[in-house]
Amino acid sequence: MDLMLRDRVAVITGPAKGMGAAITRAFANEGCRLALLARDLGAVEPLADELCGIGHPCLLAQVDVTRPEDCARAAAAALDAYGQIDILVNVAGGTGTIGKSGVETEPAEFDATVALNMGGCFNTIRAVLPAMMERRHGKIINVGGTFGMRGRAGRLAYSASKWGLRGITKSFALEAGPYNINVNCVAPGMVDGPRFRDKVCADMAARLGISIEEAASRHAEEYALKRITTDRDVANACLFLASDVSRQMTGLDLPVDGGWAML
């Protein structure tokens, strides 16, 4: 199926690593013109050079998404370069403290996680939405997480921030809907990759005296589909929600987790 995304302008935050890089490549392969927003430009420059080298236009902007002025400046740069913004994909985020109970979590740690995972998306949406509203067209995809749908002990700040992102998504969907703008949230579960293998599976393996592969299999057994999500699975969900194939879907929480959140 042709998703008809060619020449649309996609602003992507957190494009350098893991699912962010997979999402960036997926939109490039659909023919989108890209504006890549990253706090560390050095981390994203190799990907941008790779994509530009094969004919995919890329604009880079150094942005801390927790700073509204950075987000406004980047949106203006994208408009100056391309004349429009069609798509925003908010990938940038962080896990914050892991393994601490709510009582053990310091207020500053909680605030920092909420500022990044909720405030960052709020800032970027505010920055791009006026241009989308003027053209009466736009697609906004926030990348949340299934711990914002079921909660998780030991990850209070992260879970709370992803629950809050769902509220931001739904409120903006209601406000932007009359302007033909869709606002949705993709919620990945555990995503295969270095962090999953080297941290999550390694911790389980050490605790239970099993191999990392066995630990990965045990995680997969928790899911209805008995397999771990990949970066490409998340990227495909973002492409779907960025396309007009999903024109009648807004305010949606879309788990991409093999069936964990619904169990």
Share of the chain above pLDDT 90, in %: 82
Query: What value does the mean pLDDT take over residues 146-164?
Result: 89
pLDDT band at 199 (very low <50, low <70, confident <90, very high): confident
Q: Look at residue 145 and tell me whether its pLDDT is greater than 90.
A: yes
pLDDT band at 123 (very low <50, low <70, confident <90, very high): very high
pLDDT band at 263 (very low <50, low <70, confident <90, very high): low
Residue 59 main-chain phi, psi, to 5 deg: -105, 130
Question: What are the chain's domains?
Answer: 9-190+230-256 (3.40.50.720), 192-228 (no CATH)
pLDDT band at 250 (very low <50, low <70, confident <90, very high): very high
Q: What span, in angstroms and rounded, lies between the C-alpha atoms of 102 and 47?
A: 38
pLDDT band at 261 (very low <50, low <70, confident <90, very high): confident
**Radius of gyration, alpha carbons of the chain:** 18
Query: What value does the mean pLDDT take over residues 210-237?
Result: 94
> How high is the pLDDT of residue 46?
95
Query: What value does the mean pLDDT take over residues 118-135?
Result: 98
Annotated catalytic, 158?
Answer: yes
Q: 82, 158, 179, 223: which is the annotated catalytic residue?
A: 158
Q: Look at residue 115 and tell me whether its pLDDT is greater than 90.
A: yes
Query: What value does the mean pLDDT take over residues 228-232?
Result: 95
> How high is the pLDDT of residue 1?
64
Neighbours of 37 (CB within 10 A): 32
Residues 16-70 have pLDDT tens digits of: 988 999 999 999 999 999 999 999 999 999 999 999 999 999 999 999 999 999 9
Q: Are strands 58-62 and 33-38 parallel, antiparallel or unpaired?
A: parallel
12-16, 43-47, 142-146, 199-203: which range is least confident on average?
199-203
Q: Look at residue 142 and tell me whether its pLDDT is greater than 90.
A: yes
Query: What value does the mean pLDDT take over residues 103-107?
Result: 89
Q: Look at residue 152 and tell me whether its pLDDT is greater than 80.
A: no
Task: Judge contact between 228 and 239, C-beta under 8 A.
Answer: no
Averaged pLDDT score across all residues of the chain: 94
Q: Look at residue 180 and tell me whether its pLDDT is greater than 90.
A: yes
> How high is the pLDDT of residue 96?
84
Task: Judge contact between 231 and 191, C-beta under 8 A.
Answer: yes
> How high is the pLDDT of residue 173?
98
